[in-house]
Each structure stands twice: as structure tokens, then as C-alpha cells.
Chains A and B, each alone.
Chain A
Amino acid sequence: MRKTRPALVAAAACVFAVTACSTTEPEAAGGGGSGDVETGNGVTDSAITVGVLTDLSGPFAAGAAVQVTEFQAYWDQVNADGGICDRDVEMQVQDHAYDPQKAVSLYRSMSSDIVALQQVLGGPTSAAVLPLAQQESVYVGGVGWASTALQYENNQLPGASYSIQGANAIDYLVDELGLSEGDSVGVVYFVGDYGSDALAGAEHAAAERGLTIVPQEITPAVTDLSAQASALVQEGVQAVVLGAAPAQLASLVGVLSSQGADVPVIGMNPTFNPALLDTPAAEALLANTYSITSVAPYASDAPGVQEANALYTEADPDGALGWEVPLAYGQAQLLRTALEDACEAGDLTPEGVVAALGNASDVDTDGVFPDGLDYTQVGESPTRTVFVSKVSDTAEAGLELLDTYEGPSAQSYTFG
């Protein structure tokens, strides 16, 4: 075997060399499509295919499944109402299991069959897919709220970025929850495009408002935050901002309360889960815990959210309730807007959809996201307004909407 290999390589080179090579491109076939709308990948005369790359068997499987159900319900309804551009919208769902390698391969497998990606769920996975999709000009939605995704013109960020959420959290503490100059605030966060981004926003706001930040970095494996909470109490923090997951929120709030530290805790978008209200930390959570989200909570009475909830309950009567429901609905609305705009502009190709997204300067979603989302500025958050909710055992899905809010430091935050 060994001795034969060099010979084989040489033989292969010869085969390769004698094969007809060419570097002149044949005449490009005219853009396909019928009527006056130009079409490309993922669009036939009767159907528009959008892709969903999500996590159905990894750590975020359950929340991801809620979103897939809601996407499907939304597009079914759109199709029942006549579809988009006289075509039905179909979804191609693939599971990347939160593995970037799978995400990239599956993206390759679907990229020629889809006109846009409804969702690429997860930080590392979307970070791997976004640059590829940018090269091929494919619209990518639903990658979460990391500022790092803002640099891609093909990315649709659903609401305010994590950094804007973090800055708003500090502003809200000062303006509404009675903190003042000189106070210190703990920030407990996952290192990465989520937690670190929230920390960056909080640090900016703290500098603006004269507060001190006490950062505590953790990993998802840490679900007992005793040591972190003790350290924050020792530093005398007057509030804590959390850029982590539900398990960390419950532990942190519980330990703080057991140590007699009655301080407000504000969680970023993904930190709250209604199931936490069944845990021993429920009482502590109800006392003084807030959530800042880019999407309206389930209990919002905005028409868009009500519509989203109704669709979801019909599609899956036993499904888990949470902010994923309005989020998925809102993202589908955004993609629908882009598809319709592209259709109107006569260019329903992937490039056309990205262009339509880039021209959307004032998108309203019936209260699912803050009104007036602006996607014309690449690198900027489409909005600086967030939703502030308080943990409540009377509101559906555990979050009672207090207000939409846009603080001064969130306005002055610069990306880059």
C-alpha cells in the first residue's frame, strides 16, 4: 500500500491534467421566473421556500421547537390567505443540534433550495453560518441579539441588541428603581456574544450614569451561584444584571435572598422561563426580579402578541408558553415584510430579499417588537427600545409587562 501511493498520486495528477479545463464562463442563463418578478433559488411558480436551521436535539431544543411550531402556524395562515406573490410559503427545517460544523454543512445542503433563512438559532452556529450566507447574499433571521451579527447586511436582528438591553437595564435601575450615582451593580454573564455584549452595554451605561460595575463571569455548567452571590453581596452591589440562562437566574435570586440582600435583579432576554416559578426560588423571584426583552412578553395585550398566542394555542394546545411565541411570530412577520417588498420590487431572488430588508426603515409588527424597526443602517441596532417586565405569578407565562423603555445611555451607545 505504502509504495503504491506516490504512483497513485502521480496518476491522478495526469488524469486531472488531461481533463478539459476551461476558465471562460459560458453565457449566463437569463434569470428564471415568470411574469414580471425575477426569481432565483428557492422560488418556483407556485412556492417560496424558506429555511430554518435550529436546534431540535441540543441544549435549546425545547424553546426552538416552540418557535418552529409557531413559524409553521404563521406560514400556514399566510398561505390560507393567498400566500405571498401568489405563491405558498414552505419551510425547510433542519436540526444543527447547536453544533457549528453541522450548521455549516446543513446550510450548504439547503442554500440552493431556499430564498431566505427564517432562523439560524444559537451563537456559535449563527456565527459560522452568517459569513457564508453573506457571501451568497442570503437573508438570515433569528440569530439572537448579539451585536456581532449587526455587521452583516443580510442579518435581520429581531429588536434591540444585547448591548442595548444591558444599557437600558442600567438606565432603568437609575431612573425607575432608585439607584443613584456612586452605587455599584453586579453583572453576572456568560462569556460570549451574548453575555459579554450585555456587559459592554451595561459598562457604557454605568460610565454615563456614574455607577460602578462588578463583573462576574460564569459558564452554563454553573447552576449554583453561591460563591458569585456572596462575592456580590460583599462588594455591596445595589442591583444585579444577569446575562445568563434561567437556571442561573433562579439560583442567583434565591441565594441573594437567603443572604438577606434585597436588591433588584434584571435578566436579559433569554434569562426567564415560567417553569422557574415552580422551584424553591419562586418566592424570591416574585419579590424583586425584572426582565428586559427585545420582544414583547407573552402576557402583552398588543394585538400582534394576542394574534401570535392564539395561533400557537391552536397549533399546539399543550405547548410551553413563553416569549418564544411572540418572538417566532414577529420574526415571521419581518420575513414576510421582506418577501412582500422584494416581490413588489420585482426581484424575489435571495439578493432581492436582502435588498428589501436593507430598504426597510420603518417596520411595525403590531406591538410584537417596538414600532419603527430600522434596518437601513448596517452595524446599528434596528431599535433602542426594549420591553421591561416584572416576574409575576398572575401574568401568563410569568412576566407582566410594565413598560416599553428607552434610556439615555441606550441612545448614546455606539457600536463598533
Chain B
Amino acid sequence: MSELPRRIAGLVLLLVAVALPLVLEDFWLQLGLFVMATMIGAVGLTLLVGVAGQLSLGHAAFAAIGAYVYVWATSESEPTLAGAGLPAVVGLVLAVAVAALVGFVFSPVASRLRGIYLGLATLGLVFLVRHLLLNLDPWTGGFNGRSVEPFTLGGFSFSNRDPDYLAVAGVELEGLHRLWYLFLVLTLLACWLAANLRSSRTGRAWANLRDSETAAAAMGIGVARYKAAAFVVSSGYAGLAGALLALAYGRLAPDVFTLTVSVDFLVMIVIGGLGSVGGAMVGALFVTALPLVLTQYSDALPFMAAPGSGGLDPATTSRLLYGLAIIAVLVFLRGGLAGASRRLTGRRAASGAPDDTPRPTTPIAPGHEAGDRTSESKETAR
């Protein structure tokens, strides 16, 4: 019954995403690139945190690895900077593979630790990777970073050149437009994969792990193996997100992947609603776009002091509004943005779609089994 409206909504959304570049200005195109890149990262993180119940504050570290591997793979070698000169597609695959591999190497730590312990151990990764990026100059360019070659596919370049001029329906498709479509395809692919993975055997095993490792082990789920798998998949997603961020920037430096980025990924999936792929996407849109749009249009707000006058200037206001928005979502919206929209469309009542596996309760509680149980029972009571 609810399938048809949903298909129509999906189709409309997709058509809008395809048509948007024809009308948008550069600001919005650039914003869209950042949003789509972070969407992929957030979806990967929600598989790990929301579905498999393992907290990670190290997502930016894996994104950094993906980004630098991509740039290394696709750049020509120079006297001071190593490069492999591989085709861009190979670079993208390598970025995902190496990030996933590092996730695999880190997974013994992950399988020993749980919840908040794991989260804070991964926090250390961000600082460790930053240290390496700064010190491995021959590969990373140190603090200067290195420039990113445009993405090319069989002679077609996703930049302002090759072909120099390309227009659709009278609108010239420049580098940003071309990248938009590349990002759109990759984002749809990544999200489609994630949604499938979530309802697959692996996804259900992850959810069991999240709810109780002991019970999962009793049911014959290989705890260590599935935990490692969650880490590998999520790191691979982070790697892809990192490579796309590199393309969106056009230049890479260690400052692009700070702890703030890791934390922002976490904000996205919590605000969106843990464990929901759509929620992660909406969360990414919220966290990436809101501060920028607020900044861009905050001059329109009344009663603003001039910058530097010590009063409440637009920039400070936009930052405060962003903080308030986070708090408001968490205090007022059960299940985050995804939960709210589900209630709004009344889709929860027409359950049955595999999306509606019970939402995770709490991934972040080692010593707080008690707290878990209370919120869990609330959940089932609903």
C-alpha cells in the first residue's frame, strides 16, 4: 500500500538531484559535493555505530587515509612527492581498499573493546594519523599537503577541461556540475549497498551483536569476525568519502581531517537517527549544509551587530543557531530526524518494510547495562 507513494517520492527526489545542477549556482554545487561526500562517510559510520553498535570517533582518520591514497595513486611521481600515476577509477578503488585494510588491521583492537572504550581508542587514531600525515612528507607533502588531479574517465575529465565545453539544455556543465553527477552516482550506489547490507544476513548478525554479544555468540555468530567486518566496511566507506572530499577540495592538507570532522560524522548519524541509512543521509545534509547556509544568509537576519563591534554578529549567531538546532533535535525528536519523518508520514504504522528493524538503543554504554535496559524496554513498548 505504502510502496507506490514511496516509489514516486524516490523518483521525484532523484529527478530533482539530477536536474538541480542545471539551475544551481557554484556555491550550492560546491555545497552539494561536500554534502554527498559526507553522506557516504555518515552512511558507513551508521553501519558501524548504529547497526553494529560499535562507537567510533576515528572516522576522519580513515577518510584521511582514503583521501591520501587516492591522491598518491592518481598523481604522477615528482622529485619530492611520490605518485603512482594510476587511472582515477583505480585510485578510487585503492582508496576504499586501503582504508578498509587499515580498518581490518585495527579490528583486533576493536574486537577487544566495546562501546565508549572503543570510541575513545579510535579517537587516538585521529591524532596518530595526523602525526603520520605531517611527518611522511615524501608521500603526503607534510603540512603543505598536495594537489588533487581531476577525476578522469576514459578521456572525459570531471573538470573545466576535456571537453572544454559541454552543455545540456543550454546550461554549460563545468567541473562542479560534472563532479556533481559523479558524486551522485557514487552516493546512490553506496547508500543502496548499505541499505542492502543492513537487511542482509550480515546486517542482522551485526544488530544481534549490538543488542547482546553474549546472546549473539550463543546463537553461533562469530563475534570477532563480524565485529571486524563492520569495521572493515565502515572504514571502506570512510575511505571513499575521503577520496571524494579530496576531489571536492582540489587540494589536500592534514587540516582537512581534524577531530572535528570525526565528531561531525557522529553528530550526523545521531541527529539523523542511529542505524538508519536515510537518517545518516539527512544528518549529513543537516550538519554540512546548515552552518554554511546560515553563514551565507545570516546577513538577512534582523538586529545584527556589525562584525567586530563586539555585539551579536551574524557569524556568531549562525554558530549559536547550529548548536541550538543540535540540542533541539535531540531533546524534541525521538529517533532523530529519521524518526520524526517516519512518524510524520505515518510510515511506522504501516510497518513491514525491512527498514523498520528495531532501532538500536545504545551503542555507547559499557558499564551501563542498566540504562540500556530501560531505554530498550521503552523502545519495545512503543
Contact = CB atoms under 8 A, between A and B. Distances in A.
Interface stretch (B97-105, B163-171, B220-228, B331-339): B163-171
A20 B168 contact: yes
Given A2-B192, A57-B319, A22 B166 contact: yes
B188 A5 contact: yes
A19 interface: yes
A246 to B, nearest CB: 19
A346 interface: no
A110 to B, nearest CB: 8
A22 B168 CA distance: 6
B192 A108 contact: no
A393 to B, nearest CB: 25
Interface string A1-29: 11011101101100110011111110000
Interface stretch (A31-39, A122-130, A264-272, A288-296): A122-130
A9 B318 CA distance: 36
A193 interface: yes
B145 A106 contact: no
A226 interface: no
A203 to B, nearest CB: 15
Contacts of A5: 10, 188, 192, 195
Interface stretch (B65-73, B250-258, B369-377): B250-258
B263 to A, nearest CB: 13
A97 B319 contact: yes
A106 B292 contact: yes
Contact of A19 (B168, B185, B316): B168
Nearest to A125: B255
Contacts of B296: 94, 106, 109
A95 B143 contact: no
A111 B316 CA distance: 23
The main secondary structure of chain A at its interface with chain B is helix
B34 to A, nearest CB: 6
A100 interface: yes
A112 B26 contact: yes
Contacts of B288: 101
B15 interface: yes
Interface stretch (B85-93, B206-214, B307-315): B307-315
Nearest to A151: B144
Interface string B228-257: 000000000000000000001111010110
Contact of B27 (A22, A56, A109, A192): A109
B292 A57 contact: no
B365 interface: no
Contacts of A127: 144-145, 251, 253, 255
A20 B176 CA distance: 19
A316 interface: yes
A215 interface: no
B196 interface: yes
A128 B257 CA distance: 13
Contacts of B255: 100, 123-124, 127, 192
A131 interface: yes
B308 A57 contact: no
A95 B295 contact: yes
A238 B154 CA distance: 61
Interface string A361-399: 000000000000000000000000000000000000000
A5 B316 CA distance: 41
Contacts of A109: 25-27, 30, 296
Nearest to B160: A135
A105 B307 contact: no
A196 interface: yes
Identify whether the interface residues of B are mostly helix, strand, loop, or mixed.
Answer: helix
Query: Which of A57, A96, A135 has the most C-beta atoms of chain B within 10 angstroms of its own C-beta?
Result: A57
Interface in B150-191: 160, 163-170, 176, 181, 185, 188
Contacts of A2: 192, 195-196, 199, 354
B7 A4 contact: yes
A199 to B, nearest CB: 11
Contact of A56 (B142, B188, B316): B316
B143 A191 contact: yes
Nearest to B167: A22
Contacts of B147: 131
B176 to A, nearest CB: 8
A69 to B, nearest CB: 5
Nearest to B176: A108
A11 to B, nearest CB: 7
B14 A102 contact: no
Contacts of B354: 2
Contacts of B251: 127-128, 131
Given A22-B168, A61-B316, A95-B307, 15 more contacts: A1-B353, A8-B14, A15-B18, A16-B181, A56-B316, A57-B315, A57-B318, A57-B319, A94-B296, A100-B249, A101-B249, A102-B295, A128-B253, A131-B147, A132-B250
27 contacts: A8-B11, A9-B188, A22-B166, A23-B163, A56-B316, A62-B308, A64-B308, A65-B308, A66-B308, A95-B307, A104-B34, A106-B27, A106-B295, A106-B296, A108-B31, A109-B25, A109-B26, A109-B296, A123-B255, A124-B253, A127-B144, A127-B251, A127-B255, A128-B249, A128-B253, A135-B160, A196-B143
Interface of B: 6-7, 10-11, 14-15, 18, 25-27, 29-31, 34, 134, 142-145, 147, 160, 163-170, 176, 181, 185, 188, 192, 195-196, 199, 248-251, 253, 255-256, 288, 291-292, 295-296, 307-309, 313-316, 318-319, 353-355
The 9 closest A-B pairs by CB, nearest first: A65-B308, A109-B27, A124-B255, A95-B315, A57-B315, A25-B165, A108-B26, A56-B315, A108-B30
Interface of A: 1-2, 4-6, 8-9, 11-12, 15-16, 19-25, 56-57, 61-62, 64-66, 68-69, 93-97, 100-102, 104-106, 108-109, 111-112, 123-124, 127-128, 131-132, 135, 148, 191-193, 196, 316, 319
